[in-house]
Structure 1
Amino acid sequence: DGSREKLDKGEVTLKKLDVLGVDTGMGFERLVSIVQNKKSVYETDLFNKEKTREERIVADHIKTSLFIISDGVIPSNNGKGYILRRLIRRAVRFSKESLEKIIEKNKKIYSDIYKLDDKKEIQKEEGKFRQTLDRGLKEFEKRTDPFILATTYGFPIELTEELAKEKNIKIDRRDFDKKMAEHQKLSQTSSSGMFKGGLANHNEKTVKLHTAHHLLLAGLQVVIDKNVKQKGSNITEERLRMDFLCDHKLTDEEKKKVEDFVNDKIKAGLNVLRREMPLAEAEKIGAEMEFGVKYPEIVSVYFIEDKDGNQVSKELCGGPHVKNTSELGHFKIQKEEAVSTGVRRIKATLP
């Protein structure tokens, strides 16, 4: 134990290192530039002698994206995933050709020390965003409102701000944020008469669809990706509607698997239980929360579980719900469609 306390007491001594050095914190890239006697990291073997600002942005952002993805992050609309998405999209904006060559070069450079694998996430994001970019740039030139650019054309506000700065155009970010907050609130409630949780009313059919809604999210996380998150909901006595984060159109096979998952849980006759707990505890146990919603310190969490306590679903929710999934009947997906970039929508019923 070489603690500082023992060192001060003389109980341990320091040994001179065989090789003396100073930890400068300069980083790998800068170290390489010194070893190779280059003025810029872009002149080293770690890059491809990129000279223009645009070339360097693309090279830097793609390399960074590769490392982020290799650490388990995927492009999304929140948190780390959104930072990654912004990096890729900015690289797409400044690139004059496909990003594939840059991706492969980076993989080769670091192959001996770090296995970089983008799992095709960069190409998928590039493919989706190039269409958005082309449409958005045309609308930007028309001086379209940044809010419309974002909500109608999927054009990120950060990119709008960057373009505006280049052209000395002033963007009112406060106005944009205000409109976006109102838009998100509206999408979550759908109408002024909507109950909490997106319910149109609390009649028997609506309540059943509400519970099916929880099973649907659980099914999407099992079949599509564990990181699928709800973005909004609307539930009437005729059908449920869920908006969720997903980067692709669901195949017929995926929709069938989701339906089967929900119907299996209905047939299993699982208990639906409500428990109150501090928000911090709900976060700790991994209860699902709707993105962008501000919750109180004490929250209601609904669990769907079997008699042994094995949980299929746990979500922060104000209810109401059925007591047992066997009350629901048969679940059927009516429609699956795109809402915006990275957001899909499912409409389903209990016929």
Structure 2
Amino acid sequence: MMRMKDVVELAKERGLTVDEKGFYEKFKAHQELSRTASAGKFKGGLAGNSEIETKYHTATHLLNAALKLVVNKDVHQKGSNITEERMRFDFSCDHKLSDEEIKKAEDIVNTWINEGLDVICTQMNKEDAIKSGAECMFIEKYPDIVTVYSIGNVSKELCGGPHVKNTKELGHFKIIKEEASSSGVRRIKAILE
């Protein structure tokens, strides 16, 4: 790893003019920002906060629960990406989902949406959350006090939120694509209509 002094010397060797004082100030500010960010606690929540992104976030929890019923209970979330246009959900799975599995997962999610399940937010210590059956990715990155979101009796996960208050707010859930993400990981893209 290069030190600040090395970077300045390298720039000068290449004939570049360097505002050393300005460089050092910016470099120190960047280091402090990085240090502050890495010291912050992982929240496991949503990056965006628009209404539709919040809906998609809740839908990822429902899809995760549905896939456990359709594929098997050992399915685990491997990642997600939510935009205002769609949600992407990566999960552990060793096979391409059949059309029947996709339809069944979609139908289960829509059943839960139509049931109008309440989304409940509870704070508790991390150990109690795990003992209660809450699912979690990256448990070691969470603080001692965590937020658990429960959706009816179908989903219970550690999460930073935000979420809708009731599944009826979501509208119709539709899977638009299922594909491989990497070895042993499948990817679903879905929309809310």
For the superposition of Structure 1 and Structure 2, which TM-score range results when normalised by the shorter chain? Answer: 0.7 to 0.9
Q: CA deviation at 1:292?
A: 6.8
Structure with the higher helix share, 1 or 2: 1
Structure 2: tracts of 5 or more residues without a match: 1-41
**Residue 348 of structure 1 corresponds to which residue in structure 2?**
190
**Residue 62 of structure 2 corresponds to which residue in structure 1?**
215
* SS at structure 2 position matched to 1:232: strand
Change (3 A) 1:250 1:314: same
1:276 aligns with 2:118: no
Deviations 1:266-297 (A, max 9, x none): 00000001000111011111211114761111
- Equivalent pairs, count: 152
**Residue 155 of structure 2 corresponds to which residue in structure 1?**
313
Change (3 A) 1:235 1:197: farther
**Residue 33 of structure 2 corresponds to which residue in structure 1?**
none
Q: Please report the RMSD computed on the Cα atoms of aligned residues, expressed in angstroms.
A: 1.6
Question: Aligned runs of 1:65-80 on 2, under 5 Å?
Answer: none
Change (3 A) 1:304 1:241: same
**Residue 330 of structure 1 corresponds to which residue in structure 2?**
172
- The normalised TM-score by structure 2 is 0.75
Q: CA deviation at 1:196?
A: 5.5
- The normalised TM-score by structure 1 is 0.42
Change (3 A) 1:286 1:296: same
Question: Aligned runs of 1:115-134 on 2, under 5 Å?
Answer: none
Structure with the higher strand share, 1 or 2: 2
Structure 1: tracts of 5 or more residues without a match: 1-194, 306-310
What amino acid is the match of 1:331?
F
Question: Aligned runs of 1:76-87 on 2, under 5 Å?
Answer: none
What amino acid is the match of 2:97?
L
Question: Aligned runs of 1:1-351 on 2, under 5 Å?
Answer: 197=44, 199-291=46-138, 294-305=141-152, 311-351=153-193
* SS at structure 2 position matched to 1:249: coil
Larger Rg: 1
Change (3 A) 1:196 1:241: farther
Calculate percent identity across the aligned residue pairs.
65
Give yes or no for contact 1:230–1:291 (8 Å, CA) kept in 2: no
Higher RCO (C-alpha under 8 Å, 6+ residues apart): 2
